[in-house]
Amino acid sequence: MMKLDIELLKSIPIFNKLNSSELLSLQEISSVKRLEKEEVLFYEGDESKTLHIVIDGEIEVYKVNSKGKEIILKKFIPFSFIAEVSNYNGINFPASAKATCPSTVLLINFKEFEKKFLFHPTIAPVILKSMANKVMNLEKVISNNLILDASQRVAKFIYDNEECLNKIKHHKIAEYLNITPVTLSRILKRFKDEKLIETHNNKFTANRERLKKEFS
């Protein structure tokens, strides 16, 4: 654990309107954890006594299926709450979380946070928005993995994240979509053959109208 500095707390948007005494109170119930790449923050089934906020880096929340394959549910960047719904409901974490790169996470004693800050006028709206986003992401995960087939998932991913096709390694995209890299390559080849996507100077461009028809 790293020493927690008041200035670090003030740099986190949700806390930057707290006064000095409130920041000191928050400091008393908080700590900072540094994680290396692939280091686990918490495991599925762990008690949710701690509220987690990403300070820097990226944290990936995932589940492991019966075949031992990791299914990525969401990636969290600064300054996101991680799995805070578990804290509010008093249930164990339903998934695991690990760092995808060297990362720093703020750890807050949730029982004390609940008593002192949960209904703070500048904090409560941010928490409600974060929880709403979690529900929307869950709907997206369910749609992608249970309703859409592999080709439709790839088409929707490109439609929503066209720039990622040029920036993120394809095996990471395959992992996110819960398909094999071979399957992704085969689908991308078909998309290129059918002009749903094209390559110019080793960069992909998408025919958005045709892609949308693929998954709609």
Q: How far apart are CA 42 and CA 83, in angstroms?
A: 10
- For residues 76 and 108, state if they share a domain: yes
Does 189 reside within a domain? yes
> Has residue 129 been placed in a domain?
no
User: pLDDT by residue (tens digit) across 92-108?
Assistant: 998 999 999 999 999 99
pTM of this structure: 0.68
For residues 117 and 182, membership in a common domain is answered with no
pLDDT at 85: 85
Whether residues 110 and 13 share a domain: the answer is: yes
Domain shared by 63 and 155, yes or no: no
Per the domain annotation, does 187 fall within a domain?
A: yes
Q: How confident is the model at residue 203 (pLDDT cuts 50, 70, 90)?
A: confident
In sequence order, the β-bridge partners of residue 51 are: 108
Residue 19 belongs to a domain? yes
Give the Cα separation of 120 and 114 in Å (integer). Answer: 10
CA pair distance 18, 12, nearest whole angstrom: 11
195, β-bridge pairs: none
Q: What is the CATH number of the domain that holds 88?
A: 2.60.120.10
pLDDT in tens, 163-188: 877 788 888 888 878 788 899 999 99
Assign 3 a pLDDT band (cuts: 50, 70, 90).
Answer: low
Q: 111 with 159, same domain?
A: no
Q: Are residues 72 and 167 in the same domain?
A: no
Cβ-based neighbour number of residue 85 at 10 Å:
16
Least confident of 37-41, 117-121, 139-143: 139-143
Residue 137 lies in a domain: no
Find the CATH number of the domain harbouring 151.
1.10.10.10
pLDDT at 76 over 70: yes
Q: Residue 107 is part of which domain span?
A: 6-123
The answer to whether residues 106 and 188 belong to one domain is no
In a domain, residue 151? The reply is yes
pLDDT value at 191 more than 70: yes
Number of structural domains the chain divides into: 2
Residues 111 and 10 in one domain: yes
Task: Give domain status of residue 165, yes or no.
Answer: yes
When pLDDT is cut at 50, 70 and 90, the band that residue 144 belongs to is low
Q: Is residue 96 domain-shared with residue 175, that is, in the same domain? A: no
As a whole-number percent, the residues of the chain with pLDDT over 70 amount to: 94
Last residue of a domain, one of 91, 123, 155: 123
Task: Render pLDDT for 81-94 as a digit per residue (tens, 0 to 9).
Answer: 998 888 888 999 98
